Structure 1
């Protein structure tokens, strides 16, 4: 499932992310922060360690946005509910090692910034309905006003 399939509006969300691979010693925070802008989704991956110095996603190398307490990366999310192969380079061992992982972002877990709905197609339809009702009410009020003015 893609971001287009989900019809997510621009904004900030959270999403559950599962990780497979590696030695099992490192973990990532879940849920992860997810931002959507101009139809592009970006997840904030926070590792349990600050020893990750880069990630490779879709052949592109991403550097951390923070390495204070944890290594934190912002990576694109092209698909949901399917595994995305990534590489994390860790410097925790005697020499750096690229470790292969698979991340899966669960579309049914996406929550809006304040815990609300994701603003998908149902929300868009409801908003359109409200606009139609408001326009109809404004037209009715104008017609009634014109009728009152012509009776005088």
Structure 2
């Protein structure tokens, strides 16, 4: 299925992606970010390794969009629900190797990305810690008042 068949408005989405190929030791993050602009889809591929120095889709070469952490690339998504051939060049071995993979983007998993206005997991954890700290402080103050009086 081509991008145009999904009728996606310009915007930010997430999509489930599966990968095959290579030695089976590397993986990519799923779901992944998907942006659509002017009918063109682009996925943010985050590898499980920091050792990828470029990716190829067709004859086009893509460089990482980050300098630290796991290698991350923004590549076009040409097709959904069918394997899309890509090459990842890994420097994890004694000499760099181009490795062939296929990525399959599941059209039925495309959903609008979170707007970022919510608290998210980290925000909820921080809020919970603050509530617990306040409750503990309040309990400690009440306990000390009972001893004094």
Contact 1:50–1:67 (CA<8 Å) still a contact in 2? no
Task: Spell out, residue by residue over 1:90-109, the C-alpha distance to the aligned partner (whole angstroms, 9 max, x if none).
Answer: 00000000000000000000
1:113 to partner: Cα distance: 1.4
Q: Extract unaligned runs of 5+ from structure 1.
A: 116-152
CA distance in 1, matches of 2:67, 2:81: 28
CA distance in 1, matches of 2:108, 2:87: 25
Q: Secondary structure at 2:33's aligned position in 1?
A: strand
Which residue number corresponds to residue 106 of structure 1?
106
The CA RMSD measured in Å over matched residues stands at: 1.0
1:4·1:39 contact (CA, 8 Å) conserved in 2?
yes
Q: 2:55 matched to which residue of 1?
A: 55
1:101-120 per-residue CA deviation (whole Å, 9 max, x = no partner) reads 000000000010139xxxxx
The answer for unaligned runs of 5 or more in structure 2 is 116-149
* 1:41 partner SS: strand
- Alpha-carbon separation, structure 1, partners of 2:95 and 2:18: 27
Shift of 1:66: 1.0
Question: 8 Å contact 1:90–1:97 — kept in the other structure?
Answer: yes
Q: Which runs of 4 or more aligned residues in structure 1 lie more than 3 Å from their structure 2 counterparts after TM superposition?
A: none
1:24 maps to what in 2? 24
2:65 is equivalent to residue 65 of structure 1: yes
> Residues 107-138 of structure 1: CA distance to partner in whole angstroms, max 9, x if unpaired?
000010139xxxxxxxxxxxxxxxxxxxxxxx
CA deviation after TM superposition for structure 1 residue 67, in Å? 3.6
CA-to-aligned-CA distance 1:40-96 (integer Å, 9 cap, x gap) = 000000000110000000211000001411000000001100110000000000000
Instruction: Tell me how far apart the structure 2 counterparts of residues 5 and 106 of structure 1 sit (CA, whole Å).
Output: 13
1:45 pairs with 2:45: yes
